């Protein structure tokens, strides 16, 4: 596996900062950035998603070194060598582990895919609305303008937090 690129790190840091502020403001749980391991039944050796969220009600699964089971939400930022792994292997593993939302962002192709676990335990692709916004159901009230992700430079954190009404 290659090392993450500067754009990958910038996007991961941006998303982590946004989610962490949102989650802390509502005391909703915890947010982690890689490297932090998530141990799964299909992959006991674990996965290290770029970003993961654990809801407050499930914090008992959290140990000092890893999450024992699937997170409530996982974000993966695709790099050229991870495209197949993120879209196939991890998709299947996260779905089977009950990860309720799986967000995949591909900065090279400027593509965003957001999947939500349905009642049958399978992922459905969640469309972005007509305004280019994705709305989470795992984090009630969280929304994300997909265009933010492809801006250079990325929007200032404070401007997004203001749009969200957190500051």
What residue spans define the domains of the chain? 6-163
pTM score over 0.75: yes
pLDDT of residue 10: 93
Collapsing DSSP to helix, strand or coil, 124 comes out as strand
- Do you know the residue count of the chain? 167
Q: What is the mean pLDDT of residues 21-45?
A: 93
Q: What is the mean pLDDT of residues 132-152?
A: 95
If we measure between CA atoms, which residue out of 119, 113, 100, 99 comes closest to residue 144? 113
Average pLDDT, the chain: 92
Q: How open is the CA angle 81-86-89, to the nearest 5 degrees?
A: 110
Confidence of residue 83 (pLDDT cuts 50, 70, 90): low
Whole-number Å distance between alpha carbons of 84 and 73: 20
Q: What is the mean pLDDT of residues 11-16?
A: 96
Whole-number Å distance between alpha carbons of 99 and 111: 21
**Among the residues of 34-87, which ranges form H helices?**
83-84
Q: Which residues on neighbouring strands pair with residue 134, listed in sequence order?
A: 144
Whole-number Å distance between alpha carbons of 116 and 103: 9
Confidence of residue 84 (pLDDT cuts 50, 70, 90): low
Q: What is the mean pLDDT of residues 16-27?
A: 97
Q: Classify strands 51-55 and 73-77 as parallel, antiparallel or unpaired.
A: antiparallel
For domain 6-163, which architecture applies?
A: Alpha-Beta Complex (3.90)
Whole-number Å distance between alpha carbons of 5 and 44: 28
Whole-number Å distance between alpha carbons of 77 and 12: 7
């Amino acid at each position: 596996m290659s090392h993450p690129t500067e754009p990958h790190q910038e996007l991961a840091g941006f998303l982590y900062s946004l989610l962490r502020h949102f989650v802390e403001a509502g005391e909703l749980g915890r947010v982690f950035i890689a490297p932090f391991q998530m141990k799964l039944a299909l992959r006991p050796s674990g996965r290290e998603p770029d970003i993961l969220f654990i809801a407050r009600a499930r914090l008992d699964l959290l140990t000092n070194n890893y999450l024992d089971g699937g997170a409530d939400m996982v974000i993966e930022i695709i790099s050229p060598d991870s495209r197949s792994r993120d879209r196939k292997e991890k998709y299947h593993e996260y779905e089977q582990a009950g990860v309720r939302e799986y967000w995949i962002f591909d900065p090279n192709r400027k593509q965003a895919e957001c999947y939500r676990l349905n009642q049958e335990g399978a992922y459905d692709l969640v469309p972005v609305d007509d305004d280019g916004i994705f709305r989470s159901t795992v984090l009630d009230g969280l929304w994300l303008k997909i265009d933010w992700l492809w801006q250079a430079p990325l929007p200032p954190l404070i401007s997004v937090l203001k749009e969200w009404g957190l500051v």
